[in-house]
């Protein structure tokens, strides 16, 4: 072969190689250009007293998003997490919602933790046609309005995967009266929408069953010393104290009750069902009680899969009381996005369709069957009673609320 022929051959090969490389680059660029991003935001307390629950929510949504992306659940789209800290404060939550609504890449929100924060967030997201699915709000008025006798859906964009105080309060009262056979209780609440609503629902059902509420008291959300309230309750000899609040108040209340000689169980709702309650209440928390939504996660095959995936993901924070519900909330949104995103030019354009699609979502989640009624409430009404035994929460009874 002549040198001239060899040079021409090498040149041809180089030319072909460059052409193929250029073609590959254009293909990659085209592929990247056709992959669009939609954000699922989380609005929850990521700092402060309730951050243990908020971080569990955030991480669980992050897990659902990563799994959806790995599975290429929505061809042509990548999902991303946008986490916003509401510090469990309604005004901060409203600011977070305003920020989220202004971001055209946000298509839906998982949140909030607190019912009081939800009241500020709901109208802002509704104006922006942004679906909101809460893993933890239990105040009934968020879905059916202020008059339960004449229910009317408040905001069409709002859904939740947990049961409400109207279900949880009576469930707890029935357990106390029918199972524990107690007839005299004291009831306390922290004046917040969640705590007040839950305490009122408990007291109403307990009285209806034939029990007596010997004292009905309130405390402030920032109180540290409960000696005055405890003194009054002790004088009326209750067999149990029901406290509508979250763990940061319930733990100290339990500890101070026992120290003052009021040696009866403290009971609360899902807001106290966290290991932080036991840490704050101390050794004498043994026998205290809580109700929480759903069946124990570890008792469900789907729940075990979630726990394994969460552990494998390496999050430094636990999933806490609402992690599994946040995971189901995120997957409800993702199921809706499979309908709304493919034919949308961008995430903002998919917002109305996502709300419509959510109304028809139905699947087996890690907490049980996930679906919504005409008000946006969860169709599942399963709850569990837990008690503190040997320094841990232990399930006592799981049933469907009646």
- Which CATH class, in words, describes the domain spanning 166-293+384-400? alpha beta
Given a cut of 50, whether residue 203 has pLDDT beyond it is yes
- pLDDT for 13: 35
Contacts of 118 (CB under 8 A, 6+ apart): 93, 111, 112, 132, 134, 137, 139, 142, 158
Closest to 308 in 3D by CA, of 63, 73, 65, 79: 63
User: Given pLDDT bands bounded at 50, 70 and 90, which one contains residue 300?
Assistant: confident
The CA-based angle 99-104-107, given to 5 degrees, is: 90
Number of H helices, E strands in the chain: 13, 14
Cβ contact 196:190 at 8 Å: yes
Cβ contact 221:192 at 8 Å: yes
233/214 Cα distance (integer angstroms) = 8
Encoded tokens for 48? 């402060």
Question: Cα 280 to the chain's mean position, in Å?
Answer: 22
Q: Cite the DSSP H helix spans in 145-260.
A: 165-174, 193-209, 227-235, 247-259
Task: Give residue limits of the domains in the chain.
Answer: 36-163+297-371, 166-293+384-400
Question: What are the pLDDT digits (tens) for 125-135?
Answer: 999 999 999 99
Of 58 and 10, the one with more pLDDT? 58
DSSP state of 179: I
Given a cut of 70, whether residue 1 has pLDDT beyond it is no
Average pLDDT over residues 154-176: 96
38/124 Cα distance (integer angstroms) = 19
The CA-based angle 44-45-49, given to 5 degrees, is: 155
Given a cut of 90, whether residue 366 has pLDDT beyond it is yes
Question: What are the pLDDT digits (tens) for 19-74?
Answer: 434 444 443 333 444 789 999 999 999 999 999 999 999 999 999 999 999 999 99
- pLDDT for 14: 37
234/165 Cα distance (integer angstroms) = 27
143/205 Cα distance (integer angstroms) = 21
Of 89 and 35, the one with more pLDDT? 89
User: Given pLDDT bands bounded at 50, 70 and 90, which one contains residue 101?
Assistant: very high
Per-position DSSP letters for 342-389, written without gaps between them:
TT-SSTGGGHHHHHHHHTT-EEEETTEEEEB-TTS-BS--EEEEEEEE
Average pLDDT over residues 94-105: 98
Quickly tell me which residue has 């890690």 as its tokens: 366
- pLDDT for 402: 81
- Domains 36-163+297-371 and 166-293+384-400 are alike in CATH topology: yes
Share of the chain above pLDDT 90, in %: 88
Cβ contact 136:53 at 8 Å: yes
Per-position DSSP letters for 6-56, written without gaps between them:
HHHHHHHHHHHHHHHHHHHHHHHHHHHHH-EEEEEEEEE--SSTTHHHHHH
Given a cut of 50, whether residue 312 has pLDDT beyond it is yes
Question: Mean pLDDT in the chain?
Answer: 92
- Which CATH class, in words, describes the domain spanning 36-163+297-371? alpha beta
Contacts of 292 (CB under 8 A, 6+ apart): 269, 270, 273, 321, 383, 384, 386
Cα of first residue to Cα of last residue in the chain, in angstroms, is: 92
User: Given pLDDT bands bounded at 50, 70 and 90, which one contains residue 280?
Assistant: very high
Given a cut of 50, whether residue 217 has pLDDT beyond it is yes
Strands 184-189 and 131-134, by their bridges, are: unpaired
- pLDDT for 302: 87
Share of the chain above pLDDT 70, in %: 92
Beta bridge partners of 97: none
- pLDDT for 11: 41
Given a cut of 60, whether residue 5 has pLDDT beyond it is no
Strands 368-371 and 362-365, by their bridges, are: antiparallel
- pLDDT for 299: 87
**What is the widest separation between alpha-carbon atoms in the chain?**
112
The model's pTM is 0.86
Contacts of 285 (CB under 8 A, 6+ apart): 251, 254, 255, 266, 277, 278, 388, 391
- CB count within 10 Å of CB 352 equals 16
139/203 Cα distance (integer angstroms) = 15
């Amino acid at each position: 072969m002549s040198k001239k022929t060899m040079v021409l051959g090498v040149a041809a090969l180089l030319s072909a190689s460059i052409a193929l490389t250029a073609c590959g680059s254009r293909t990659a660029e085209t592929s990247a250009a056709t992959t669009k991003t939609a954000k699922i935001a989380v609005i929850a307390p990521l700092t402060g007293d309730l951050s243990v629950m908020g971080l569990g929510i955030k991480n669980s949504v992050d897990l659902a998003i990563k799994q959806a992306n790995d599975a290429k659940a929505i061809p042509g789209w990548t999902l991303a997490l946008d986490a916003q800290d509401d510090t469990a404060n309604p005004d901060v939550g409203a600011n977070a919602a305003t920020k989220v609504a202004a971001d055209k890449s946000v298509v839906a929100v998982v949140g909030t933790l607190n019912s009081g924060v939800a009241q500020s967030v709901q109208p802002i997201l509704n104006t922006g046609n942004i679906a909101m699915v809460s893993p933890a709000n239990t105040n009934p008025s968020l879905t059916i309005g202020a008059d339960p006798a004449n229910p009317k859906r408040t905001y069409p964009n709002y859904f939740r995967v947990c049961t409400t105080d109207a279900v949880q309060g009576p469930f707890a009262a029935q357990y106390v009266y029918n199972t524990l056979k107690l007839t005299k209780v004291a009831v306390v609440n922290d004046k917040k929408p969640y705590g007040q609503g839950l305490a009122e629902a408990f007291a109403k059902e307990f009285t209806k069953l034939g029990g007596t509420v010997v004292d009905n008291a309130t405390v402030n959300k920032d109180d540290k010393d409960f000696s005055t309230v405890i003194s009054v309750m002790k004088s009326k000899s209750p067999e149990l104290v029901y406290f509508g609040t979250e763990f940061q108040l319930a733990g100290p209340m339990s500890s101070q009750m026992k120290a003052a000689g009021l040696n009866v169980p403290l009971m609360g709702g899902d807001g106290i069902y966290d290991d932080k309650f036991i840490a704050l209440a101390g050794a004498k928390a043994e026998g205290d009680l809580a109700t929480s939504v759903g069946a124990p996660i570890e008792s469900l095959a789907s729940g075990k899969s979630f726990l394994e995936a969460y552990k494998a993901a390496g999050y430094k924070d636990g999933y806490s009381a609402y992690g599994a519900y946040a995971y189901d909330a995120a997957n409800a949104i993702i199921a809706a996005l499979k309908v709304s995103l493919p034919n949308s030019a961008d995430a903002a354009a998919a917002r109305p369709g996502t709300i419509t699609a959510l109304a028809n979502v139905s699947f087996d989640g890690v907490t049980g069957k996930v679906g919504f009624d005409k008000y946006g409430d969860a169709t599942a009404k399963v709850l569990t009673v837990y008690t503190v035994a040997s320094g841990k929460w232990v399930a006592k009874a799981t049933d469907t609320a009646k």
